[in-house]
């Protein structure tokens, strides 16, 4: 069976209701709406931290900022991947184990 392609779109400073696919009637977002219609649109997700780099670190590692210790935006994400516990698999390692190229 062919694996589906995975495209993860992440934007900064964008509210969930700023897209047409989520009900906004004042803007036109046809391309994002089309992607959401043919894929997954996470409508019930919440941020674990109020700034972007800690949130990305949480997405990559699967643990909260108080555990991975990335709590500000100027953190070098390359260091996070080097410092991640060997018992803890990142999302990229999980995808590679599933046959994806990352």
Neighbour tally for 54: CB within 10 Å: 23
**pLDDT above 90 (res 20):** yes
Cα–Cα distance, 61 to 3 (Å, whole number): 22
Listing DSSP states for 49-102 in one string gives SSSHHHHHHHHHHSS-HHHH---STT--HHHHHHHS-TTSPPHHHHHHHTT---
Low-confidence winner among 7-11, 33-37, 79-83 (lowest mean pLDDT) = 79-83
The pLDDT tens digits of the residues spanning 43-92 come to: 888 888 888 888 888 888 888 888 888 888 887 766 666 666 666 788 88
Residue the block writes with tokens 């934007």: 11
Beta-carbon neighbour count of residue 86 at 10 Å? Answer: 5
pTM of the shown model: 0.69
């Amino acid at each position: 069976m062919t694996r589906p392609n995975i495209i993860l779109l992440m934007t900064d400073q964008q509210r969930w209701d700023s897209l047409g696919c989520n009900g906004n009637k004042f803007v036109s977002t046809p391309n994002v709406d089309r992607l959401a219609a043919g894929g997954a649109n996470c409508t019930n997700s919440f941020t674990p931290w109020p700034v972007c780099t800690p949130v990305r670190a949480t997405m990559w590692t699967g643990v909260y900022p108080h555990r991975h210790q990335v709590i500000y935006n100027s953190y070098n994400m390359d260091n996070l991947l080097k410092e991640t516990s060997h018992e803890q698999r990142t999302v990229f390692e999980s995808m590679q184990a599933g046959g994806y190229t990352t």
